[in-house]
Amino acid sequence: GAVVSQHPSRVICKSGTSVKIECRSLDFQATTMFWYRQFPKQSLMLMATSNEGSKATYEQGVEKDKFLINHASLTLSTLTVTSAHPEDSSFYICSARDVLAGPRSSTDTQYFGPGTRLTVL
Amino acid sequence: DAKTTQPNSMESNEEEPVHLPCNHSTISGTDYIHWYRQLPSQGPEYVIHGLTSNVNNRMASLAIAEDRKSSTLILHRATLRDAAVYYCILSKIGSSNTGKLIFGQGTTLQVKP
């Protein structure tokens, strides 16, 4: 099946620093990737839609200047948490939408990365 | 957007079938029914999806009510590795399809040995 990777899997940083998280689709091209955040014992919350070659679309209540998203190629999207604070500590998950929806992807299936656990001290 | 309703939790015994229900009474004709599951500390994993007809794959079966207002995910023989949170999600098809998946609280499935 299609594979999506995230790097790093775990990061600890000091308050006020910026952290970049990478999301890669390893064996397929993705014009669209999505970024989610998940707090402990809660469901995933969609943060933004990342489109290759254009600006990301943010969900209501998500600060675009704090969570910078870049989708520079069909296989890579990055999320940068700027000036991180302890309340930004969370599990960040990306997903990628297969461009060539077909038998393998069973029509527009999304594939999720393993997540990045961010801890801000 | 149409919403889904799932029980918060369910329990099952190992090697027995599990039926996970989902209500989506406001589903529209352009909504696909998707199921994903999330194991602890991992990203969600695609399980199955369907539109009108029942669907089977190597992981599970999806039974869709005739009026499409409810569906049931069926795990034929639960294993300990099936313990996860199962999410039932509606997603548009066609030109309305943004690809967005809006996750509800899901059903936490516990499997007893």
What does A90-110 look like in DSSP terms, one character per residue?
EEEEEEEE-SS-STTTTSS-E
More confident residue, A80 or A32: A80
Q: How confident is the model at residue A67 (pLDDT cuts 50, 70, 90)?
A: very high
Chain A residues near residue B42 by CB distance under 8 angstroms:
114-115
> Distances in Å between the alpha carbon of B94 and those of A28, A49, A115?
21, 18, 29
Please give the residue of chain A at the shortest CA–CA distance from B104. A43
Please name the amino acid found at residue A81. Answer: V
More confident residue, B30 or A57: A57
Model pLDDT, residue A108? 64
Q: Is B87 on the interface with A (CB under 8 A)?
A: yes
Q: Are A77 and A23 in contact (CB under 8 A)?
A: yes
Mean pLDDT throughout A60-71?
Answer: 94
Question: Which of A7, A100, A108 is the best residue to mutate to test the B interface, defined by the most B CB atoms within 10 Å of its own CB?
Answer: A108
Q: How confident is the model at residue A4 (pLDDT cuts 50, 70, 90)?
A: very high
Chain B residues near residue A6 by CB distance under 8 angstroms:
43
Digitized pLDDT (tens) for each residue of chain B, 113 residues in all: 678 999 999 999 999 999 999 999 999 888 889 999 999 999 999 999 999 999 999 999 999 999 999 999 999 999 999 999 999 999 876 655 677 888 999 999 999 99
Give the distance, in angstroms, between the CA of residue A118 and the centroid of all CA atoms in the same chain. 12
Chain A residues near residue B103 by CB distance under 8 angstroms:
36, 43-46
Contact A43 B105 (CB under 8 A): yes
